[in-house]
Chain A
Amino acid sequence: MDFICNFPFFSIMISMFSGIVSAVLSRKAAKWLNLISIWVIWFLSAVLLYYIFGTGEIIVYKMGHFPAPWGNEIRAGLLEAGLALFFCSIMLLSMTGGRKKLMGEVVEEKHNLYYILVDLMLASLLALIYTNDLFTAYVFVEINTISACGLIMIRQNGRTIEAAVRYMIMSLLGSGLLLMGICMLYDITGHLLMSNIRDAVSSIYSAGTYPVPLTVTIILLTCGLAMKSALFPFHTWVADAYGYSTVSSAAILSSLVSKGYIILLIKIIYRVIGFEVYRASHIIDVVFVFGLAGMIMGSISAIRENDIRRMIAYSSVAQIGYIYMGIGLGTRYAMIASIFHILSHAATKSMLFIGAIGLTDVSKGSRHFEELTGSGYRHKIAGITFAVGSLSMVGIPLFSGFISKLLFAQAAVLNTRKMLPALIVLAISTILNAIYFMKTVIRIYTPTEEEGERITMKQEKVYALTCICFIALNIFIGMCSQPIVDWIGAGIDMFA
């Protein structure tokens, strides 16, 4: 076994280690440790991706001295390594973009605790991506939930604590359902390791031994993860949680945390239940309908909003609806579109949050649209970032959002039964998206006579660099879409 095969394990352990050590470090040391560990993991994931591209083989790594069904196991394919790389990049950019704001909004002596939360969050995301064991996934889902709650309420005002309570109630309900599903699955298959469960499930399915428990299990797993990732009827906590927490937290939460659960759901669909079995159950139609409802309702709530950050939060409800719609279409191509949308949305949404914070900085700290008028001139790089993000969300060619919408439309055309509703809702949702994002962009580029505070690029070099990186990443995803789609397809084939 090559030494590179250790890298998934190393990247989980490095972030855990830095999370444990940061508790006794000073603020600055914790910050640097966090930065260095994310960079190291980024580098490891990049090497791993390159290696897997070269060999074309899945890395199966046993955790401990015992082989697969007895011990734990982690597993890295193309998709896993690429997602780890991508998540690290977004995490890095979100942290650097929101660092200045963090100083003002969080009590200084609690800064190192914030870095612990981020480290453990990264560890849990990596473990969710790499793990090959369902119960390990549950434990790390809990770590993810608790650290997400910490990220919401680290900036302590009434709003965030209320949002944290709502978030916790909703997601604990979700983890309860998830755990119940895992227990039932364990009862009818007798395994906890994903590969073994899939073999057992396919034999159960063809033999027809436990049809009712299997269906209930699929419903429980899907419901639990949908609840945790804020699918439409369970989205009540989103606006407060994303709208009032500190900006790095909002960017990380919206672009990584909910996506981590969706990745887990996709893993469960492919590696635990089996795609054919999942498609044969009727839950897939329910997922499709809720996805469509989310696309419309999220956009409508966003249009009615008067607060820029709450508007972005509601927009992410709509985007989660897109992803679930893709899962609900139930074809391989639609799944590729969903995963592509996970990437493009993660890149765009964190970019919008980072851009919006720059705009509110030059508008006397207010986030309401009246005061934001003309802020694009007062803080140019933030204005450009926000505009690029909006264009990408609306689906203008050249940017990443366009490609994902195109992929969704193509996938919908391929599915004859669900083509019509999917296409109609896609069109309506795009128009609604255009309404509220263009409204905001026009608002921030409307000149006013009022002379506000101006911030130039030289005053905030790190922030400007982050913004440029975000724009470059977005255009990269938009321009080089074909290799990315090929990579996702190869990764999905590796799942099976």
Chain B
Amino acid sequence: MKKLTNKLLNWLNAEDTSVFDNAMELKMQEPKEEKEETVEQRMRDRLHIKDEVYSESETKEVKVLRIIYRTLAIILCAFIAYNLLIAVSWLPRTGEFDKPVNNEVSARYIEKGLQETGAVNIVTGMILDYRAFDTFGESNVLNIATITVLILLRRNKKKLPNEIEEKENDRLLEPKNDVILQKAATFLVPAIFLFGIYVILNGHLSPGGGFSGGAIIGAGLILYVSAFGFEKTEKFFTEKTQKVISLSALLFYCLAKSYSFFTGANELESHIPLGKAGAILSSGLILPLNICVGLVVAVTMYTFYCMFRKGEF
């Protein structure tokens, strides 16, 4: 037995190749003999066939096939639309109160939302407290989208041999230092930032919240870049800034929500005061979470823009 395992191990390690090789009954394959001409002919045929089959010029059959495909696609869409319309026609009537959607779930959100979450805006209270796991997943969607965009578009520090270098100047077709844009941006950008911050901080009191406010700030940053160029923004926004902001915001989000989930599930006291409803500093974790979400969204939007424009920050 031991001998056999030793043999097997030897064979696996390719140290002694003769153990089982001779025992095999498979026949040694003879090298295929072929004249050079036939080989060349075969290669030529192969290329030729590919050219024939996949030629760029549209043959008649391709056109017919395309027409058939288009008609089939249109018929399919019409069929789906017809079925969906039938389904819609059987659904409960829009705008009426008496239907399955308005049940005890939404009733509790409306009736007790203010007391249980401390948020005046019931929607914010719902997405950041009652259904916070969804929202956490959603900020991770943003995170992972940023990462995929970084993978695709960030320039490598070391050039790969087969990488096509983009030689064009990015601002070639734009007027440089456009006076109208710059003057307008001088007024608009602070106003946009202020509005974005207002929307984020008042997320639990008025319409808006982290997502909309973050997107507004991101749009403001993009306007600033288009007016003044990347030289200005590189001073305060680098790769490190992006990493630090999104890491700290997401980490805080993750830890805060883990704490809240853990205490909630184990019936522990959460020790987070809800504050007086209607004040800025109220509603427990919702305000810091809104700030985190806003930061993540703003940084993500700006990162998308930078990556699309030049592949680095």
Taking Cβ atoms with an 8 Å cutoff, the residues of A that contact B are: 1, 5-6, 9, 13, 16-17, 19-21, 23-24, 61-66, 69-72, 107, 109-110, 113, 116-117, 120, 123, 127, 133, 135-136, 139-140, 142-143, 146-147, 149-150, 153-154, 156, 184, 186-191, 200, 210-213, 216-217, 373-374, 377, 380-381, 445-449, 454, 456-458, 464
Contact = CB atoms under 8 A, between A and B. Distances in A.
26 contacts: A21-B247, A64-B129, A64-B130, A65-B260, A72-B132, A107-B156, A107-B158, A107-B160, A109-B156, A116-B144, A116-B147, A135-B131, A143-B141, A150-B148, A154-B151, A184-B91, A188-B92, A189-B100, A210-B90, A213-B87, A377-B21, A380-B12, A445-B26, A446-B26, A447-B28, A456-B15
A447 B247 contact: no
Interface residues of B, number: 70
Interface in B98-118: 99-105, 108-109, 116
A109 B131 CA distance: 37
Contacts of A135: 131, 134
A20 B143 contact: yes
Contacts of B11: 380
Nearest to A74: B133
B152 interface: yes
B264 A66 contact: yes
Given A9-B265, A139-B138, A456-B12, 8 more contacts: A9-B262, A20-B140, A116-B144, A117-B144, A135-B131, A153-B152, A154-B151, A190-B99
A24 B137 contact: no
B148 A110 contact: no
Contacts of A66: 116, 129-130, 264
A449 B137 contact: no
Contact of A190 (B15, B26, B103): B103
Instruction: Tell me if B's interface is mostly helix, strand, loop or mixed.
Output: helix
Nearest to A154: B151
Nearest to A186: B101
A355 to B, nearest CB: 14
B144 A62 contact: no
A64 B133 contact: yes
Contacts of B17: 377
A107 B86 CA distance: 52
Closest 9 CB pairs of A and B: A190-B100, A65-B264, A216-B87, A139-B137, A72-B133, A150-B148, A190-B103, A212-B90, A64-B264
B56 to A, nearest CB: 18
Nearest to B260: A64
Given A71-B131, A184-B87, A6 B26 contact: no
Interface string B247-290: 10011001000101111111100100000000000000000000
Contact of A70 (B15, B91, B108): B108
Given A61-B265, A70-B109, A187 B100 contact: yes
Given A9-B261, A373-B29, A24 B134 contact: no
Given A20-B247, A63-B133, A63-B265, A146 B141 contact: yes
A143 B144 contact: yes
A216 B260 contact: no
Contact of B29 (A16, A23, A70, A446): A446
Nearest to A446: B29
A381 B14 CA distance: 10
B247 A69 contact: no
B157 interface: yes
A64 B132 contact: yes
B145 interface: yes
A142 B145 CA distance: 10
B38 interface: no
Given A9-B262, A9-B265, A458 B13 contact: yes
B84 interface: yes
A465 B150 CA distance: 34
B246 interface: yes
A460 B253 CA distance: 42
A230 B246 CA distance: 34
B147 A113 contact: yes
B261 A150 contact: no
A146 B262 contact: no
Contacts of A454: 14
Contacts of B265: 1, 5-6, 9, 61-64
